[in-house]
Structure 1
Amino acid sequence: MHILIVTDQHPESLGGVQVAIRLQRRFLERLGHRVTIAAPALHRPGTETDPANAEAYIDLPSRPITKDREYGLSWPGARTDRALAARLAELPRVDLVHVQGDFWGALIGLRAARGLRVPVVLTLHNNVDEGTRAVSPGLAPLAFRALRVWRGITLGRVRPVRRGGPDGRGAVDRSANGAWRYLASLAAEASIVTAPSPHFAEALRVHGVAERVAITPNGVDDEAIAEVRALPRSARTRPRLVWLGRMSAEKRVLEFIEAVAMSGIDADVALHGAGLLLGKVERRIAELGLADRVTIPGPVPYRDALAAIHDADALVQTSIGFETQGLTPFEAAALGTPTIFCDRRIAADVAVSPSWRVPDSSVAALARTLSAAVERLSAEAAAGTQLRVAESESRRFLQSTRVEELVEVYERAVALKS
């Protein structure tokens, strides 16, 4: 098969979705499939597409939308359509469009699929409703209306596929509200809708986005995991906890800092990441007198992030209700590192032992769980043992185990179209 993936951001930019798409391409190609990825061209200074990837990438006309020029926007319309069509005309016929974007990537991908007359698999990676409300609660209703208007301008009327058919697709569910209704208008034109986790698939069903949602979890890079697993773990005198992510409100990094202070744990805590709250995080660490325990290495390359997880005694996952998969706990499980979960749904998706689950969303509950985890980790270390996830459990998180599931979804979508 020749699969065209269309997404919101270039696969060489930073982000979990981008990592997942790069992995999907590599493992699909190993099975003999061809993968072409269309996304906004990069604008970050000094960044050029790796020549080895040039044939697989279609850089769409774009403009930068962030101060660091990491991310760009491609406007869905005739100019972008022409640029995409011109490149595709040089390649073998596309069999399927896999849309892995929620905004311009989704609109561009659906327009392309209409022109190519091929089926669409739509993977919804982001909780647009929850994320928008977390960032700008007052403006969220206006933003959701604007998304629906934008979709109408660029795509016209919704064209439901296989209305009432066995795949459960059909017209937009008018009971869907907020961003869910916008996502439902995208999903109506897809042969198959997928989500990266059971809990987000259920949310999409409950909110009327799609009647049936296939689950296609993002896997973890087999080679990177094997390489990092072979690294020796550093010496330590007390347990080491690691947190990774964007320092923003929905990630609850400030709540984590408060919980570390409240718990009084004797542990080293490393925060890998940056974001809008970085300054507040640094000030709060100083105010609470935690500088001897909490450090901020900052953002690191993917392999270094994996190495930090592997070296830690436990990963701390703090967001609640925001993540659609929460890839870092999956990476931790693949590396054998236990996780302290704040989101019970992510904990249920990962479903490995040992782990800890914070019973509620309060800082006090997180503090108590941190104390219990550090106490057990310290006891294991005193006994000369390490608390790790068994390798037999870790294997199911590797990309090599996930790619066959994705191919089955593609084959089903093609069959539905024929």
Structure 2
Amino acid sequence: MHILIVTDQHVDSLGGVQVAIRMQRRALERLGHRVTVAAPALHRRGYDTAAQDRDAYIDLPSRPITRDREYGITWPGRRSDRALARALAERPPVDLVHVQGDFWGAMIGMRAARGLRVPIVHTMHNHVDEGTRAVTPLAPLAFAGLRAWRRLVLGSPRGYVDRSSRGAWRYLAELAAEAAAVTAPSQHFAEALRRHGVSSSVLVTPNGVDDEAIAAARERARSERRRPQLVWLGRMSHEKRVLEFIEAIAVSGIDADVTLHGAGLLLPRVEGRIAALGLTDRVTVAGPVPYAAALAALRDADALVQTSIGFETQGLTPFEAAALGTPTIFSDAEIADDVDVAQKWVVADGSVVALAHTLQQATGELSAADAGRLRVEDSAATRFLQSARTAEMVSVYEHVLVAG
């Protein structure tokens, strides 16, 4: 098969979805399939596509939308259609379009599938409702704008739309109407999509973690430490609750080393709050790091701290941590249920005080025990690997192609 994946952000930009797509591509190629990934061109300073990836990527004309130039937008329309068609003309025929975006990527992918006359598999990674409400009080207007934009770009929905769907869910339902199969990366998000009328049939296809990268990270010896080491990874934005995490560290008074990996619009505020609370002796901002370095940090840590609530459609970092043997302090109980490992700590509610209490509990247990005893069992790790997950997605592709 030749699968065209279309997504909202370049897969070498920062984010769990981008990591998942890179893993999927490599795993599919190992099985003999061809994968082409189309996304907005990346404008990060100093970035250059690796030579071995150039034939697999189609960089669509784009413009940066964040100050750090990490993320960009490609306007769906005739210009992007032509750019994509020219690039695809130099490649073998596409059998299927896998849309792994919920905004411009979704619209570009659907326009491409129409032109190519091939079916669509749509994996919905983005909790549009929760994410939008987290960043603006004008969420209902934003949802209406998304629906108007979708109609302008794609016209009337080409399929059944459940009239009970509302707001962001209605927008996603109108996208789902065009797909031969709709999937979600976790059970809890699949249930939310069904409950809100996006699609009556949503397949659960969790993102996996790279087998080779995990194996390489597990070979690394863990560093010496005099107190517990906690790690946080992600985009520094409001929905990730990174500022609440900083407040909780201060309230808890934990005796632990904490490292934050990632970047985003809140990075200056995060650094300022750490200094203002006098936490510079305990909290370090490592900034964005390559994937291998992020995995190494996860492997070395005593625990990962996961802080978003209700926003993640899967939350890949706890899965990566579990595959590396590292337990997680979960703020989102639904993600904890999806990961489903014995060694974990779950915060009671969304307050800073509750997070601070769980940080105290976890670091106390980590300090009192031999660190090797508070690890995720190796037997649980294999189910998180991409090799296991890719077979599931290939089955979805084959079913759609046969049905089509």
State the alpha-carbon separation in 2 of the partners of residues 30 and 113 from structure 1.
25
Deviates more, 1:358-367 or 1:328-337: 358-367
From 333, 342, 346, the counterpart of 1:357: 346
Counterpart of 2:142 in structure 1 is 143
Alignment of 1:120-139 (within 5 A): 120-137=120-137, 139=138
State the alpha-carbon separation in 1 of the partners of residues 346 and 177 from structure 2.
36
Q: 1:257 to 1:104 in 2, by over 3 A?
A: same
Offset of 1:186 from its aligned partner?
0.4
State the alpha-carbon separation in 2 of the partners of residues 5 and 38 from structure 1.
6
Deviates more, 1:407-416 or 1:329-338: 407-416
**Secondary structure of the structure 1 residue equivalent to 2:369:** helix
Counterpart of 1:166 in structure 2 is none
Offset of 1:279 from its aligned partner?
3.0
Mapped pair 1:173 → 2:169? no
State the alpha-carbon separation in 1 of the partners of residues 77 and 52 from structure 2.
29
Q: 1:398 to 1:136 in 2, by over 3 A?
A: same
Mapped pair 1:219 → 2:197? no
- Point out where structure 1 has 5 or more consecutive residues left out of the alignment: 161-170
State the alpha-carbon separation in 1 of the partners of residues 56 and 266 from structure 2.
36
Deviates more, 1:246-255 or 1:1-10: 246-255
Deviates more, 1:37-46 or 1:402-411: 37-46
Deviates more, 1:10-19 or 1:218-227: 10-19
CA deviations on 1:118-175 (whole Å, 9 max, x unpaired) are 11000111111111111112x2122111111111111111111xxxxxxxxxx11121
Q: Give the 4+ runs in structure 1 shifted more than 4 A.
A: none
Alignment of 1:124-273 (within 5 A): 124-137=124-137, 139-160=138-159, 171-273=160-262
Q: 1:287 to 1:89 in 2, by over 3 A?
A: closer
Corresponding residue pairs, total: 404
**Secondary structure of the structure 1 residue equivalent to 2:67:** coil
CA deviations on 1:59-86 (whole Å, 9 max, x unpaired) are 2222222233322222211222222222
Offset of 1:416 from its aligned partner?
2.0
Offset of 1:8 from its aligned partner?
1.2
Offset of 1:385 from its aligned partner?
4.2
Task: Calculate the TM-score normalised by the size of structure 1.
Answer: 0.93
Counterpart of 1:377 in structure 2 is 366
Offset of 1:19 from its aligned partner?
1.3
**Secondary structure of the structure 2 residue equivalent to 1:109:** helix
State the alpha-carbon separation in 1 of the partners of residues 309 and 172 from structure 2.
21
State the alpha-carbon separation in 2 of the partners of residues 14 and 364 from structure 1.
30
Offset of 1:3 from its aligned partner?
0.7
From 318, 323, 341, the counterpart of 2:330: 341
Offset of 1:277 from its aligned partner?
2.5
Deviates more, 1:115-124 or 1:85-94: 85-94
- Point out where structure 2 has 5 or more consecutive residues left out of the alignment: none
**Secondary structure of the structure 2 residue equivalent to 1:315:** strand
Offset of 1:287 from its aligned partner?
3.3
Deviates more, 1:39-48 or 1:372-381: 39-48
State the alpha-carbon separation in 1 of the partners of residues 69 and 277 from structure 2.
35
**Taking every aligned residue pair, what percent have the same amino acid on both sides?**
72
**Secondary structure of the structure 2 residue equivalent to 1:13:** coil
Offset of 1:262 from its aligned partner?
2.2
Deviates more, 1:313-322 or 1:57-66: 57-66
**Secondary structure of the structure 1 residue equivalent to 2:381:** helix
Mapped pair 1:17 → 2:17? yes
State the alpha-carbon separation in 2 of the partners of residues 237 and 83 from structure 1.
55
- RMSD of aligned Cα (Å): 1.5
**Secondary structure of the structure 1 residue equivalent to 2:255:** coil
State the alpha-carbon separation in 2 of the partners of residues 298 and 199 from structure 1.
30
- Residue 150 of structure 1 aligns with an amino acid whose one-letter code is W
Alignment of 1:60-139 (within 5 A): 60-137=60-137, 139=138
State the alpha-carbon separation in 1 of the partners of residues 247 and 48 from structure 2.
41
Offset of 1:52 from its aligned partner?
1.4
Counterpart of 1:299 in structure 2 is 288
- Residue 386 of structure 1 aligns with an amino acid whose one-letter code is R
State the alpha-carbon separation in 1 of the partners of residues 76 and 87 from structure 2.
16
Alignment of 1:303-322 (within 5 A): 303-322=292-311
Offset of 1:362 from its aligned partner?
1.6
State the alpha-carbon separation in 2 of the partners of residues 46 and 375 from structure 1.
43
From 348, 367, 386, the counterpart of 1:399: 386
